[in-house]
Amino acid sequence: MSKPVNEGIYVRALWDRRERPTPVISRYTFWGGKRKTSRRAEDRKRHIFVDVYSTRLLIVILTLLTLSCLDAVLTLSLIEKGSVVEANPVMAFFLDVGVFHFSLIKFVITAVALIVLCVFKNVNITRIGLPVAIQIYLAVIIYEIYLYMS
């Protein structure tokens, strides 16, 4: 809402909400908003957080979470078979504690990382990293299946 001050010059009557960037976490993060992308090209470089996430992003996130769980199952099967040992020292520690702890920690670490990547979905490293992560997980799972079959 603008009020004319002089000929052709307008001053905003209300506080301009665009003076501050969109916060990383706001009330719209959990209960939805209207913004799917920034309207202006220069804003896309500065304001990277939006209110609405795409179905495609949901599919990518769920795919990565599923692949991580499948990796955990295949890793546990291969360890039980005696074919391999856990190479990640953190996960090897939790595997020594127990299978439940190993599975829970693997799921939690993956889920938290995916939530962070979801919030930062408009950052270039995330746009590149999510598809690369799917490809890496697929390669690891194919290798684990190969080891399991041999």
Q: What is the pLDDT of residues 52-102, one digit of tens each?
A: 778 899 999 999 999 999 999 999 999 999 989 999 999 999 999 999 999
More confident residue, 8 or 64: 64
Report the C-alpha gap between 102 and 99 in whole angstroms.
Answer: 5
9-45 residue pLDDT tens? 655 556 655 566 666 666 666 666 555 555 666 665 6
How far is residue 35's CA from residue 63's CA, in Å, rounded to a whole number? 25
Percent of all residues in the chain with a pLDDT value above 90, rounded to a whole number? 52
132 and 113 assigned to the same domain: yes
Mark whether 48 and 92 lie in a shared domain. no
* 24 shares its domain with 11: yes
Q: Sorting pLDDT into bands at 50, 70 and 90, what band is 120?
A: confident
Quick one: which of 45, 48, 46 has its CA closest to 35? 48
pLDDT band, very low/low/confident/very high, at 148 (cuts 50, 70, 90): very high
Q: How far apart are CA 62 and CA 69, in angstroms?
A: 11
Nearest by Cα to 108 from 72, 140, 63: 72
Regarding whether 144 and 125 lie in a shared domain, the answer is yes
**In whole angstroms, what is the distance from residue 72 CA to residue 133 CA?**
16
Same domain, 79 and 112: yes
Do 85 and 40 fall into the same domain?
no
Q: Are residues 82 and 16 in the same domain?
A: no
**How many structural domains does the chain have?**
2
Is 66 found in the same domain as 133?
Answer: yes
Band of pLDDT at residue 49, cut at 50, 70 and 90: low
For residues 81 and 147, state if they share a domain: yes
Residue 106 clears pLDDT 80, i.e. is over it: yes
Answer yes or no: do 12 and 47 share one domain: yes
Residues 67 and 48 in one domain: no
**Same domain assignment for residues 127 and 60:** yes
What pLDDT is attached to residue 141? 97
- SS3 assignment, position 24: coil
In which domain, by residue range, is 40 found?
Answer: 1-52
Helix, strand, coil fractions of the chain, as percent rounded to 5: 65, 5, 30
Strand blocks (E) in the chain: 2-6, 9-12
The residue among 15, 34, 52 that closes a domain is 52
